[in-house]
Amino acid sequence: AEQLLISSEKQSIAAQLAAGIAHEIRNPITSIKGFLQLLQRSKSTNHDKYFEIMFSEFDRIELIIRELLVLAKPQVTKFELKDIRTIIEDVMTLLEGQAHLNNIQIITIFELEEAYLNCDENQIKQMCINFIKNAIESMPNGGNLTIELKLYGKNQVLIGIADEGFGIPEQILKLLGQPFYTTKEKGTGLGFMVSKKIVENHYGQLRVSSEVNKGTTIEVLLPIAK
Ligand code: ADP
Ligand code: MG
């Protein structure tokens, strides 16, 4: 009975995803088609604007597909010994600019010089990017972003990402990890779900705690390689 439960649950997630993808990708495609028709018919001078919108709609489709590929290819997960501190530092370098532009101060509490995980580096990077981006996006008026790395128990690391942003109301906390759930105008609602999946792929655990108007803390626990 348990087996059955799992497979039917999987199916409903697949169905949910399929419906979401169809919907999310149809919107930009309809919009691109509309602008192409306008271009074909008119000799108006609005061409630059039309092209600009079409490119941004293509960007959106690309982003959705890129995020979904992480889910679509779990079997390609390539596990290697990698230092998690280096991975986090790489991601920070990548997102520093965006943080500074938003008046966000990054505070690091690294209690470990290094810690080797058996992991797919690209996936772990993607996970960190998704969580840190969400933290940055939750503080449009700036604030502190605290990134922590420490030992948890004997054989796990804890990666903490804490923001002082608008927080997540309790009823929305439950919806996290559901595909295409977003409160952002340009959001995809895929980042959290993909990251959760990546944590699972790595036999880790994910904890979220949040208080409205105070901030959100994400904690990822991952096993250290023996
Ligand atoms: P997106 O960022 O594209 O909206 P995500 O899957 O990354 O999609 O996040 C889904 C939703 O979860 C966000 O739209 C937001 O409402 C909420 N959320 C996630 N992380 C945070 C955070 N750190 N602070 C506040 N809200 C968050
Ligand atoms: Mg996001």
pLDDT digits (tens, 9 = 90+) for 13-31: 667 777 778 878 888 898 8
Q: Report helix, strand or coil for 105.
A: strand
Structure-token pair, residue 3: 């087996």
Q: In testing the pocket of ligand 1, which one of 59, 134, 136, 210 has its CB within 8 Å of the most ligand atoms? A: 134
Structure-token pair, residue 36: 């192409």
Closest CA to 60 of 25, 11, 22, 104: 25
| pLDDT tier, 44 (very low <50, low <70, confident <90, very high otherwise) | low
pLDDT (average), residues 98-117:
97
pLDDT at residue 11 above 70?
A: no
Q: Determine if ligand 1 sits within 6 Å of the CB of residue 190.
A: yes
**What is the pTM (predicted TM-score) of this model?**
0.83
Tell me what pLDDT residue 130 has: 94
pLDDT digits (tens, 9 = 90+) for 122-173: 889 999 999 999 999 999 999 999 999 999 999 999 999 999 999 999 999 9
pLDDT at residue 3 above 60?
A: no
* Ligand 2 center to 200 CA (angstroms): 18
Residue 144 region by backbone torsions, left for phi larger than 0, else alpha for psi between -120 and 50, else beta:
beta
Pairing label, strands 104-110, 143-152: parallel
Q: Determine if ligand 1 sits within 6 Å of the CB of residue 24.
A: no
| pLDDT tier, 45 (very low <50, low <70, confident <90, very high otherwise) | confident
pLDDT at residue 12 above 50?
A: yes
